[in-house]
Structure 1
Amino acid sequence: MSRSTVEEVPLRRNRDFTLLWVGQGCAEIGFSASMLAFPLVVLAITGSATASGLVLAADAVAQAVLALPAGALVDRWDRRRVMLACELAQVVALASLVAALLLDGASVAHLVAVAAVLGACRALFEPAEDAMLPSLVPERQLATAVATNSARSSIGQMSGTALGGLLFGVARWAPFLLDLLTHAVAFVTLLFLRAPARRAEPAPHGRIGQEIREGLRFLWQRREIRVTTACAVALNLFFAAYYLVVVVLAARRGTPAGEIGVMAAMLGVGGVLGAVLAPSLHRRLSPHVAIAGVFWALAALSPLAVLVHNGYLLGVLFAAMALLAPTANTTIVTHQLLLTPDELRGRLSGSLNLAVGGAAAAGPALGGLLAESTTPTTAVLVSAAGMTVAALAVTVNPTLRHYPREEQNR
């Protein structure tokens, strides 16, 4: 694999990375606002919680169904054009929804269709952005870029959720107008992005199924990718279950809704702080310590929810649990991107999105089952036990114990 030829300047002065970061930071704010507003609009129109779930499911199903073919298509096509097309499609879909809501003509079918378009666009956009990142920054700065993108996601989710609730109180269409405008900004920033030429020509086009299998075969043959993917699946499954169980526990204890909201937001605060610390921790910690550290932090801190009754203190607990995750993510993603040839990076991202996204979706279902079948306290301890078993497996795994350290800028 060829070495990066991107001029090495401080990341904040890297024009193309900054354009991408700003544009997608705006888009993530708008997306989070829409994801909050979708179920609220459906409830206002129909009063049906089931219909609300259907709309959110449309986004998740579209991403899951298209994850593997999207990764293969991203490896075929010009990645910047894919990203531009996705932003434009989202602007058009959101404009149709804003117009329908202004005219009181929105239907559940329309909302489902728009949510599915957003999910399909994310299924294509995320692999395209991930695959392009190593061509925008020097390899020595890749870990810092990955951590900076992690901070962007946390900030976008926190601020977008808050703005979505505020704007929905003003008008039903307002959160979707915000999403439309932020994707328009992202589209404009991409127009000015100078995407470097691909380091390697895409492989000759075959049938899409064949290309997907080639990508999966490459990933399966790399033990480091197999093992770290299993780590990410376990972490997302058990933590998503734990998160729902703790929310149920807090609600049954009579914790005010405002405190629960702050508690949830503190998870994002921890993610932002962790992303700020990630480049430094990535340089100082061995890869094995960085990866195992997040598992042991979750295993040690998660049982404390049984003892903590104050919603704000539970928020501090959530923030502490999120603090080390960006460092592990930076370590894993940086190595995976450098290990994978450019012509396969879209399929790498699409495959990982499917695996990790599936675990994140299954986690709440597991948490709900635990909360319904036993006491919330027992459910917390069962979730904590699952994270402890995963931490033990990570600690003794020989592949992770010898995980290579990437050379990064200091």
Structure 2
Amino acid sequence: MAQSPPEETDGSGEAERSEESAQTKGGEERAPSLWRNRDYLSWWTGNGLSTLGTSVSTLAFPLLMLYETGSATQAGTITVLHMLGKLGTLAVGGALADRISRRAILCVVPLIEALAMGAVALLVYRGDPAVLALDLLALVSGLAAGLKIGVSTPVLRRVVPKEQIANATAQGMGRDMVLQLLGAPLGGLLYSAARWIPFLFDALSFVFVTLGTLFIRRPLGPDRKNDEQRPGLLTEMGDGLRMIRRSDYLRFTIAWGALLNTVAQGFTLLFIVLVQHRGGSPTAVGVVTSLAVAGGVVGAVLGPTLMQQLGARRVLHAAAWIFVASFAVVGLVPEPWQIGLVMMVGMISMVPMNVVTESYEVRLVPDAYLGRVAATSRFCFQGVQWVGPLAAGVLADTLGPESAALVLAGVMAVLAVVLHLGRRNLALLDSPLADVQELPAPNDRDPQDEDPQDQDPEDGVLTGPSKGSAS
């Protein structure tokens, strides 16, 4: 295999942007298909296999704890520990992604996850594994996962041309949904063969992230000068927060997206309750879940085309209101299969919404800060999502599942209205994705010193007469 270019370079980011500009200048040249991009395929395949392995162990862990202890609380505890570990290192992982070699992080951290899952497989293989040991290994796996997540977004930006970010984002979401759909039955099959096999399968899947990273040829960053003085880790994490605070778009979409994710997580529990309330069997719950995931895959395919044809703002508004309608209708239809169809429609709208917000974030944030900003976004989303299922459960027990669905539909309607009221905050969406200008670094210049006729530093949209005005 050819030697990878050095990670620490001076100005390679500028060269990369110049190459992207040449590809898109005047719309005369069209970038080749992502499937012909060897670096993208290496990233896509390695992460996809890891997602499949994680889907398998996600099912196997609760089954194992139920089998070992007979306690649903213990089954939930091991899942919570993994989530807490991931939240605990998300922000640090984002800061490290902008500070040290991203290639090194993506090569080493998955091996730590592989060792943790391999240890679980070994303990289960030997018989009668200690519950505390399993809990600790789940926590270690979560801590490592948080570090890895912080690197994923800036690495994707390095391996994909800017005009293809939306396609790559949608393809990643579609891939993960398909693999999650396959992972649950595969996990059950492997667990039935032998209880330790799913964990060994997951351990081996992490190795493919490392291999995929090694096969990526282009520099993954971060770019920096050899004599550059780096501030402390906490200072750099603060710079990421300052980058978010200076952008209307980032502040709005992170806060709005966190609330949306909380509602969506609550509805994930609620539609299962509705299927059971309508007389559906566990098999029916699985079928309904599969229909919802299939809708997400369709949405991933349609997302980039809709964004290009209708515009990002229209896609966001339409998706939000379709989601509202799905919440309302799902509580009224009488049959489980009808619930599945409604959920499919809802998921078809949900994925393009995510494609829009994530794609514009990737284009707006400079490479040197993308790890921190992306990790902060995910921390906000995941840090409050537990409220959704808890609130949905309380509403279902108190009001009944149909009324609870209508309450969530009302909350979602409020979020949809907020999208319309936040027009200024979302002005960035009126500019084509490839024309989005990066925000200046927090310490480069004060936004108040900018000529307002040249650039709005909060939106990242050129407003001067030479580039046209963004509404």
Residues 407, 233 of structure 1: alpha-carbon distance in 2 compared, 3 angstrom cutoff: closer
For 2:182 and 2:377, the matched residues in 1 are separated by 26
Q: Which has the larger radius of gyration?
A: 2
Instruction: State yes or no: 1:313 paired with 2:348.
Output: no
Q: What residue is the counterpart of 1:163 in the other structure?
A: 186
Q: What residue is the counterpart of 1:265 in the other structure?
A: 290
Runs of 4+ residues deviating >6 angstroms: none
Instruction: State yes or no: 1:147 paired with 2:170.
Output: yes
Instruction: State yes or no: 1:63 paired with 2:86.
Output: yes
Instruction: State yes or no: 1:344 paired with 2:358.
Output: no
Residues 90, 197 of structure 1: alpha-carbon distance in 2 compared, 3 angstrom cutoff: closer
CA shift for structure 1 position 143: 1.3
For 1:94 and 1:9, the matched residues in 2 are separated by 38
Identical pairs, percent = 29
Residues 199, 169 of structure 1: alpha-carbon distance in 2 compared, 3 angstrom cutoff: closer
- TM-score of the two chains, using structure 2 as the length reference: 0.83
Q: What residue is the counterpart of 1:222 in the other structure?
A: 247
For 1:277 and 1:4, the matched residues in 2 are separated by 29
Which protein has greater RCO, CA pairs closer than 8 Å, 6+ apart? 1
Q: CA RMSD in A?
A: 1.9
Q: What residue is the counterpart of 2:136 in the other structure?
A: 113
Contact persistence 2:169–2:355 (CA under 8 A): yes
Residues 35, 197 of structure 1: alpha-carbon distance in 2 compared, 3 angstrom cutoff: closer
SS at match of 1:333: helix
For 1:316 and 1:347, the matched residues in 2 are separated by 38
Instruction: State yes or no: 1:187 paired with 2:192.
Output: no
Write the letter of the residue equivalent to 2:53: G
Residues 179, 188 of structure 1: alpha-carbon distance in 2 compared, 3 angstrom cutoff: same
Instruction: State yes or no: 1:335 paired with 2:360.
Output: yes
Q: What residue is the counterpart of 1:17 in the other structure?
A: 40
Write the letter of the residue equivalent to 2:315: A
SS at match of 2:19: coil
Matches within 5 A, 1:67-78: 67-78=90-101
Residues 197, 101 of structure 1: alpha-carbon distance in 2 compared, 3 angstrom cutoff: closer
For 2:188 and 2:155, the matched residues in 1 are separated by 33
Residue-pair matches, total: 409
- Structure 2 portions without partners, runs of 5+: 1-12, 24-30, 436-471
Matches within 5 A, 1:8-407: 8-196=31-219, 198=221, 200-201=223-224, 204-399=229-424, 402=427, 403-407=429-433
Give deviations 1:257-299, integer Å, cap 9, x for gaps.
1011111122211111111111211111222111122210111
Write the letter of the residue equivalent to 2:202: D
SS at match of 1:346: helix
Contact persistence 2:55–2:180 (CA under 8 A): yes
For 1:309 and 1:171, the matched residues in 2 are separated by 40
CA shift for structure 1 position 204: 4.0
| Residue of structure 2 aligned with 1:5, choices 10, 19, 32 | 19
- Structure 1 portions without partners, runs of 5+: none
More helix by share: 1
Write the letter of the residue equivalent to 1:405: S
For 1:234 and 1:69, the matched residues in 2 are separated by 23
For 1:23 and 1:4, the matched residues in 2 are separated by 28
Give deviations 1:26-65, integer Å, cap 9, x for gaps.
1000001111111110010001111111100011101112
Contact persistence 2:103–2:220 (CA under 8 A): no
Write the letter of the residue equivalent to 2:398: S
Give deviations 1:161-199, integer Å, cap 9, x for gaps.
221122222221121122122222332222222242537
Write the letter of the residue equivalent to 2:235: Q
For 1:91 and 1:54, the matched residues in 2 are separated by 21
For 1:4 and 1:139, the matched residues in 2 are separated by 11
For 1:180 and 1:280, the matched residues in 2 are separated by 36
Contact persistence 1:72–1:212 (CA under 8 A): yes
For 2:309 and 2:425, the matched residues in 1 are separated by 17
CA shift for structure 1 position 319: 1.1
For 2:337 and 2:277, the matched residues in 1 are separated by 16
CA shift for structure 1 position 118: 2.2
